[in-house]
């Protein structure tokens, strides 16, 4: 298979860095985000067809400002600097940057002075999104200005010979009307990319890599039934067939009928070797009397590892077909998780512990296989479609590893879980009936540790409160509450109160992330 085209994005701390990657990927060109201080050797090893310098909150003159190795400009590789990236080009190559007379934040009118290269087929006057305090006041030698705005006489620059470009605005945000065209011009006109990176090419390359890495060894996969682990399982099965062994553990805090559906789909439809473990009893026993959410997560994580280890040893003993036993553990880690821990901002603070199968690889001496560690969620769904997974599974909302345990606030009992399961079932059922399920990123019910007074059939009640939550998002890193129609909310509330014994009040959560998280615990 011929060499894949790579675009390198260097991160200087912009809130939009991930967005640059998404836009490049949407144009079917593969890219990766790396910290600004990546070594020049690593850059050469990555062999990029182009380099994009992200924006960032710093001033190039500030103490501790993120400054890259200047030698990236001597590699003969096209460079596009965005906002801070433009100022860094000027700063490192002999230009000057100054605090602007007028800072620019928000929409601005860009006037294109040189309608070719990155501005090929872009309107002469076009709307762009600005977000900068410093401005370019003196061009570096060999550069010329190619666009301006009312506030900034130099809004975009280029060095024709070295193919180095800089723009003061953010082409990656949707407020920049022709931003995608500008990025596309950089990729195709300047870098000479062909744009042939897609789900099919990803699958082909992944199968090659998985086979080369795994050899004749066995791969274990913890199959939750979520999008990421499901698509990973089918991809691995396509690559290594019977060397894949999946384990699905019902932790007792799944949604209604979920485990049965997982087993049916993967055994019957995909003919994947799947071991089903009903761990309901042991999970609920260990969770008894526990109210602290982090403690719940830790108990569920540890219990999962205990049960998984037992099943993995069974799988290893029963390994057939000349495999050497289990040597790998497959996980559905996604790119946002990787970026959060490797960007120059350093590992992000632990807001809540993530429930992957943490601890297992070291404990069982397993190597990790993470086929999606460079993909965003929507890209995993595209891969799933190309592999023939059902749409009902691919469009399934994200579901936390600790499941309903962190949606039953306070103590977990079988009775409280049943109340939540029933309410959640009604909520999702009504969203599907109204064709709203696929419109939201995530929707779920939460059982609050709050009882309130109600009236049912002329009698006073003192019963539970259910909160329902629906959010819209692109990748879960930020989210807005979903503006569901009032009549649908009304139907959901009536059904939950009438059909779920023990509930007399339903509330709708209208907080966004940030400041709130999507889950309540």
Q: Are 345 and 33 spatial neighbours (Cβ–Cβ below 8 Å)? A: no
Q: What span, in angstroms and rounded, lies between the C-alpha atoms of 334 and 227? A: 11
Determine the Cα–Cα distance for residues 492 and 466; give it in Å rounded to an integer.
Answer: 11
DSSP readout, 220-274?
A: EEE--SSHHHHHHHHHHHHHHGGGEEEEEEE-S-SPTTHHHHHHHIIIIIS---E
> Which entry of 34, 132, 170, 248 is annotated as an active-site residue?
170
Beta bridge partners, 468, equal 445, 508
| Whether residue 83 lies in the annotated active site | yes
Q: Which of 5, 31, 34, 83 is catalytic?
A: 83
Q: Which residue has the tokens 């007379």?
A: 101
Contact 214, 244 (CB under 8 A): no
- CA-CA distance, 90 to 140, in Å (whole number)? 6
For the chain, the maximum distance between any two Cα atoms, rounded to a whole number of angstroms, is 84
Which residue in 171, 190, 173, 191 sits closest to 181, CA to CA?
171
* Structure tokens that stand for 143 in this block: 């550069």
- In the residue annotation, 170 being an active-site residue is answered as yes
**8 A C-beta contact, residue 266 and residue 274:** yes
Per DSSP, the three-state class of 403 is helix
The rounded distance, in Å, linking the Cα atoms of 306 and 301 is: 9
Catalytic-labelled residue, pool 172, 370, 382, 521: 172
- Give the H or E element holding residue 393: helix 391-394
Catalytic residue list: 83, 170, 172
């Amino acid at each position: 298979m011929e060499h894949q085209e790579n675009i390198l994005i260097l991160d200087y701390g912009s809130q939009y860095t991930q967005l640059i990657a998404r836009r490049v990927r949407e144009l079917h060109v593969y890219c990766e985000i790396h910290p600004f201080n990546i070594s020049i050797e690593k850059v050469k090893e990555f062999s990029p067809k182009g380099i994009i310098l992200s924006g960032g909150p710093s001033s190039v003159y500030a103490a501790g400002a993120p400054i890259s190795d200047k030698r990236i400009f001597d590699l003969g590789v096209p460079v596009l600097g965005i906002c801070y990236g433009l100022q860094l080009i000027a700063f490192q190559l002999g230009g000057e940057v100054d605090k602007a007379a007028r800072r620019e934040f928000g929409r601005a009118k860009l006037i294109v002075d040189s309608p070719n290269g990155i501005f090929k087929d872009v309107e002469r006057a076009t709307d762009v999104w600005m977000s900068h305090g410093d401005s370019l006041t003196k061009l570096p030698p060999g550069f010329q200005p190619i666009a301006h705005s009312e506030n900034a006489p130099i809004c975009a620059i280029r060095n024709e010979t070295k193919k180095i470009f800089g723009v003061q605005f953010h082409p990656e945000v949707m407020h920049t009307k022709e931003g995608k065209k500008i990025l596309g011009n950089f990729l195709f006109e300047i870098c000479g990319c062909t744009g042939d990176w897609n789900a099919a090419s990803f699958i082909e390359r992944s199968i090659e890599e998985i086979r080369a890495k795994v050899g004749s060894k066995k791969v274990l996969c913890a199959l939750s039934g979520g999008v990421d682990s499901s698509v990973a399982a089918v991809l691995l099965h396509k690559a290594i067939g019977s060397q894949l062994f999946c384990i699905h553990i019902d932790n007792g805090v799944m949604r209604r009928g979920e485990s049965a559906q997982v087993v049916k789909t993967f055994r019957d439809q995909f003919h994947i070797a799947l071991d089903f473990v009903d761990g309901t009893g042991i999970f609920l026993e260990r969770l008894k009397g526990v109210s602290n959410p982090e403690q719940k997560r830790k108990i569920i994580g540890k219990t999962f590892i205990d049960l998984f280890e037992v099943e993995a040893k069974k799988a290893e003993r029963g390994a057939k077909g000349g495999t050497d036993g289990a040597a790998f553990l497959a996980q559905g880690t996604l790119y946002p998780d990787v970026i959060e821990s490797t960007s120059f901002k350093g590992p992000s603070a632990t807001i809540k512990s993530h429930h992957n199968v943490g601890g297992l690889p070291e404990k069982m001496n397993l190597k990790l296989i993470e086929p999606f560690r460079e993909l965003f969620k929507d890209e995993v769904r595209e891969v799933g479609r190309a592999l023939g997974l059902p749409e009902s599974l691919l469009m399934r909302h994200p579901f936390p590893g600790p499941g309903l345990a962190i949606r039953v606030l306070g103590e977990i009992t079988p009775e409280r879980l049943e109340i939540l399961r029933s309410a959640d079932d009604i909520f999702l059922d009504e969203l599907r009936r109204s064709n709203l399920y696929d419109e939201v990123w995530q929707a779920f019910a939460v059982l609050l540790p709050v009882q309130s007074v109600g009236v049912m059939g002329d009698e006073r009640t003192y019963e539970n409160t259910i909160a329902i939550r629906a959010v819209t998002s692109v990748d879960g890193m930020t989210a807005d509450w979903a503006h569901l129609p009032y009549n649908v909310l009304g139907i959901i509330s009536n059904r939950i109160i009438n059909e779920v014994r023990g509930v007399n009040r339903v509330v709708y959560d209208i907080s966004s992330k940030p400041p709130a998280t999507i889950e309540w615990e």
